[in-house]
């Protein structure tokens, strides 16, 4: 079994076991959904709609996607492929704080970086390699409770 097939099967099992714990999505019947499947040929499947939370869970169990997204906008026809024909009704107020882009002292403990040019690696948040000065940095960021506190403070800034 390939790694992709294994992960897809694992996600399906997770959704089946934890489906009742997935938070409900308000006005789900008016939202457009999209998901990222495991196959490499398709980046995202979009323009989907679900009439109920139960149908969302069923879809998750059947498809086992890597990611599932719902629109912040509300539509009369969220499944319509043409954006102008979706019937825009309004939208939620959404604040997107990308705390992984902020420096927080805890990054020195949990964010890992690796230079693809020279092989140097370390912890923290770097823009370029401190060894070879190249920008070929691969990062693995983690969001901890301290990071989330920083994001919450950003939301209430004046």
pLDDT, tens digit (0-9, with 9 covering 90-100), for 30-86: 999 999 999 888 899 999 999 999 999 999 999 999 999 999 999 999 999 999 999
Q: State the pLDDT confidence band at 14, using cuts at 50, 70 and 90.
A: very high
DSSP label of 31: S
The H-or-E segment that residue 13 falls in is helix 3-18
CA distances from 70 to 60, 76, 81, 82, 114 (A): 13, 15, 15, 17, 33
pTM of the model: 0.70
- pLDDT per residue over 111-147, tens digit each? 999 999 999 999 999 999 999 999 999 999 999 999 9
Delimit the domains of the chain by residue range.
3-91, 99-155
């Amino acid at each position: 079994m390939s790694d992709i097939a294994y992960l897809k099967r694992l996600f399906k099992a997770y959704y089946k076991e934890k489906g009742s714990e997935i938070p409900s999505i308000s006005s789900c019947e008016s939202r457009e959904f999209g998901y990222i499947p495991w196959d490499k040929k398709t980046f995202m499947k979009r323009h989907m709609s679900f009439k109920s939370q139960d149908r969302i869970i069923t879809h998750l169990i059947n498809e086992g996607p890597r990611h599932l997204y719902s629109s912040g906008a509300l539509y009369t026809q969220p499944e319509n492929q043409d954006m102008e024909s979706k019937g825009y009704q309004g939208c939620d107020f959404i604040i997107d704080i990308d705390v992984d882009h902020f420096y927080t002292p805890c990054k020195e403990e949990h964010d890992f970086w690796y230079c693809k040019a020279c092989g140097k690696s370390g912890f923290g948040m770097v823009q370029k390699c401190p060894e070879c000065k190249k920008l070929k940095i691969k990062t693995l960021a983690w969001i901890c409770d301290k990071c989330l506190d920083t994001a919450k403070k950003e939301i209430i800034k004046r």
